[in-house]
Amino acid sequence: MIHTNIAKRISYHQFGFLIFLCALIGCGGSNSGLTKYDYSGTVTFNGKPIPIGYISFEPDSLPGPGSMAKIIEGRYETPAGKGLLGGPYKILISGFEGSSNPEALGDGAPIFVDYHLIMTLPEKSTTQNFEITSADIKQNKDI
């Protein structure tokens, strides 16, 4: 019974996250003619690559496109041609344990609660790495 409740909570969490991402990507509007930049990099938690996860970028104070990427073995890359403008962005990172168990749902159990941050991205295609620690997650709960 407990496993069923956990599985439902994880699948609702993942479903909600996907709805959020669809809305985020759909809200980018038409930005043709604007220079978009590609971002890629690594995402670690307590020094180890996140097995599976998601990273999303939402403009913070200026209109512009959002984007999301899947994290696989600690690496992500924004989709080609759907880059970002640079400047202030809200970033959401989710991490999961991954699973080779065929009975497991989706990406496995979360390894931390969703991590939120706001940062200014450079106005150029670049590598942007994220190093998250347990202390960061604890501080992030208060935001």
**Number of structural domains, the chain?**
1
Structural domain harbouring 60 = 2-140
pLDDT of 103 reads 63
126 pairs with which residues across the strands?
A: 39
Listing DSSP states for 14-55 in one string gives HHHHHHHHHHHHHTT---TTS--B-EEEEEEETTEE-SEEEE
The CATH number of residue 71's host domain is 2.60.40.1120
Whole-angstrom Cα distance, residue 115 to residue 121?
17
- Strand, helix or coil for residue 69: strand
pLDDT of 141 reads 65
Whole-angstrom Cα distance, residue 114 to residue 54?
10
List the one residue out of 53, 32, 56 whose CA is nearest residue 43.
53
Contact of 39 with 75, CB cutoff 8 Å? no
Q: Tokens in use for 64?
A: 């512009």
pLDDT of 4 reads 46
Tell me the whole-structure pTM to 2 decimals. Answer: 0.73
Residue type, 141: K
pLDDT of 63 reads 85
Angle among Cα 10, 79, 108 to the nearest 5 degrees reads 20
Divide the 143 residues of the chain into consecutive groups of 10 and give the mean pLDDT of each group: 46 51 46 80 97 95 89 94 89 89 74 94 94 90 55
* Residue 99 burial (C-beta neighbours within 10 Å; 0-12, 13-18, 19+): middle
